[in-house]
Amino acid sequence: MAYNVRQVVQLSLNPRYEGAQVEVLRDLPLGDWLRIRKLGTEADEEGRAAWTIFCEKALIGWNLEDDQGPIPPTIESLERVPALLVRDIIEAWVRQIGELTGPLDTPSSAGLGLVEASTAMATE
C-alpha cells in the first residue's frame, strides 16, 4: 500500500484571529520548501516567488473576508490580508511542519547542519 504524502491540516492561529480557518498542506516537496525558507528574508523578486509558492502549492483555502467580500486564497489577494495575520499564518504553518508525530529512532543532531551532523557522526 502506498503512502500519500499530501496531507491537509488546519492551522492553529493566534487567539486574536478567533474564527479564522486556514487549511494548508502539511509539507511540500524539498525544492519548494527550500525556496519558501526565504520568506521574511527577501523582499525582492525571490521573496515574491517564495510567497507565490506558498499560495499556489501549500495554501488550500481559508474563510477570510474583508469589506469587499470573501478573499480568495491567491497570491493576488494576499495583499488584502492584514500583514500580522499573514505573518501568523506563515509562522503557524512553519510550526506545523516542525512538529514530530513520534520519538526519533536515533538521537537528533541538536540543530547541527548536514555537514556538521555528518562530521560529528563520523567521529563518534
> pLDDT by residue (tens digit) across 59-110?
999 999 999 999 999 989 989 999 899 889 888 887 887 664 444 444 544 5
For the four alpha carbons of 3, 34, 96 and 14, in that order, the dihedral sign comes to negative
Q: Are the CB atoms for 34 and 28 separated by under 8 Å?
A: no
Q: Which residues touch 50 (CB under 8 Å, ≥6 apart)?
A: 35, 36, 37, 38, 39, 42
Helix ranges restricted to H, 1-124: 30-36, 45-53, 83-98, 114-123
> pTM of whole model > 0.75?
no
Coil, strand, or helix at residue 16? helix
